[in-house]
A = this chain, B = another copy of it.
Amino acid sequence: MTAADPAPRRGRGRPGYDQAAVVRTAVELFNRKGYDATSIGDLAKELGVTKPAIYHHVTSKEDLLRLALDDALDELTAVVTGAMSDAGSSSAYERLRGVVRRSVEVLVAHQPAVTLLLRVRGNTPVEVEALSRRRWLDDRLAALVRAAAAEGALRDDIPPELVSRLLFGMVNSLVEWYRPEGVFDASAVADAITALAFNGLSR
């Protein structure tokens, strides 16, 4: 969130939110109460506007969910397609380290949307579509791990499928505890994750 973003809580009771601010507050509510338990009425109350004011920006609760999930998925997809397009110029190992680092940056910058994405269970068509996009990402990441292993850059006693799960499991776990106002910035966390994963904790 940049300094120019409106702060939804401060604006309580005032009309005039843009779509991004409505989506941001919806994501916060979905993460706090659960998607199923949140209604458009809850969102209107949180923003201090009427339900028709919400429907001015989005057609349905599911539309809000789609906008929020696309925010996270578009960024993560850009990271993965960027690594794929660098295939001619750097090793799979270097690209894998780069993807890990940039994934951490995306998670930190889009934490509420990524949190929502990681909780999706596939109860609605929008969630099924998001799960399909996540699977595409997971498959590309697993292929990158396999390519790094094939180069001989990775230890060969852990199957690449398991490496991919654990590596991005560790990255994704950030959404559970990372706090932007805390002592660790995105760069420190990205350094720590790459050092731990590739070089290990032991001295």
> Which of A's residues lie within 8 Å of B, judged by CB?
32-37, 93, 118-119, 121, 123, 152-159, 162-163, 165-167, 169-170, 172-174, 176-177, 184, 188-189, 191-193, 195-203
Contact = CB atoms under 8 A, between A and B. Distances in A.
B37 A34 contact: yes
Contact of A172 (B36, B176, B195): B176
Given A169-B176, A169-B177, A195 B118 contact: no
Closest 6 interchain pairs by CB?
A: A169-B173, A200-B200, A170-B170, A36-B37, A199-B200, A158-B192
Question: Copy number in this complex?
Answer: 2
B196 A166 contact: yes
DSSP class of A's interface residues: helix, strand, loop or mixed?
A: helix
Contacts of A153: 202-203
Nearest to A199: B200
B170 A201 contact: no
Nearest to A198: B202
A130 to B, nearest CB: 14
Nearest to A118: B176
A201 B163 contact: yes
Contacts of A189: 162
13 contacts: A34-B36, A34-B37, A36-B36, A152-B203, A154-B202, A155-B201, A158-B192, A162-B189, A169-B170, A196-B197, A197-B201, A199-B200, A200-B200
A163 B196 CA distance: 8
Nearest to A163: B201
A32 B121 contact: yes
Contacts of A167: 196, 201
Given A157-B195, A203-B155, A162 B176 contact: no
Pick from A32, A33, A158 the residue with the most CB of B within 10 Å.
A158
